[in-house]
A and B are shown apart, each in its own frame.
Chain A
Amino acid sequence: MKLKEIIEKLSLVTLTNVEDKEVSGVFISDMLSDVMSSAETGNIWLTVQTHKNVVSAANLIDIAAVIVTNGKEVPEGTVELANRFHVNILSSPLSSFQLASKLVEAGLK
């Protein structure tokens, strides 16, 4: 499934320029070390973390998009860095738990 399809279906807010990518599944964690050990390339990553280092971890694995949950505000520095490295950052007012149901209903494993 394509990222742009998911953004539309779930009315996600885009915080960066969006580069469409193939989405392979969902990964939820607030720990960068978890992403480094267990996330897969093409995963959508749900987190409440918003610091710059989120971009580094997303980039290392090539995450399809980071969705910042709980409607958390993302610092400008993070958005800037994400744009430079083509990391898609999206936002949702829902919690990670609430959004998980919507993503699975959309057909993501």
Chain B
Amino acid sequence: MKEETCSHTWEMVNVQSGYIVTENCFRCNKTATSFSAGEWPPMEEYREGEHFWNIMEVAQTIRFDLTCKACGKLVPLNELAGLMMCTGCDPKCPVDTLMKEMEKSRIWVFVAFGFFPVDERTQLSQEKIAILEEYFNQRRKSSSSTIRIVSSEKIDDISRCFAEMIRDVGMLSLTPPATE
């Protein structure tokens, strides 16, 4: 089938488990996130240009690409750091407003994050976000609800957002987590 005329049936491919590493630079206080495949990532601090990165958190995650079963189009999602469901922590946030609006029609809003710092890493294009949304809606087609995925750019003030990306924290820890 020709890519141009194909209506695309997406499939998750190139699934790799690894770690999402969150670092902080003590010079400029910026936050950086990155994906590290396979092995536990190195814990030592290092310098990258102006920055001195220090590891703040390591969580398990996966990376993946999407491909169309019909035409073979491959959509690499190297820029996707993770997905987060809006939990409505900031009533002034446009995502929260959108969420409340959409909820009535059983549409749940998720936020797609690229890697930090936003101004120094290539961010996920609108086209790729739309494909990601299409993929999940195709996968949950037997459902009575749908999802909407928006870019993290839409979040008004990230410091007021307490929702978490879908990732696995503390899986390797041998001490049980404190309950809330």
Contacts and interface: CB of A to CB of B under 8 A. Distances in A.
Interface of A: 22, 24, 30-33, 36-37, 40-42, 50-53, 55-57, 59-62, 73, 75-77, 81, 85-86
A32 B37 CA distance: 17
B103 to A, nearest CB: 8
25 contacts: A24-B142, A30-B171, A31-B60, A31-B168, A32-B167, A33-B17, A33-B62, A33-B166, A33-B168, A37-B62, A53-B166, A56-B84, A56-B163, A56-B164, A59-B108, A60-B83, A60-B85, A60-B110, A60-B136, A61-B136, A61-B139, A73-B179, A75-B179, A81-B87, A86-B106
Contacts, number: 75
B166 A32 contact: yes
Interface in B83-113: 83-85, 87, 106, 108, 110
A42 B144 CA distance: 11
Contacts of A37: 12, 15, 62, 64
B147 interface: yes
B15 A41 contact: no
Interface residues of B, number: 30
Contacts of A24: 142
A86 B142 CA distance: 16
Interface of B: 12, 15, 17, 60-62, 64, 83-85, 87, 106, 108, 110, 136, 139-143, 145, 147, 163-164, 166-168, 171, 179-180
A41 B167 contact: no
A16 to B, nearest CB: 16
A41 B140 contact: yes
Contacts of A42: 142-143
A22 B110 CA distance: 24
Contacts of B60: 31, 33
A85 B108 contact: yes
A56 B62 contact: no
Contacts of A36: 62, 83, 166
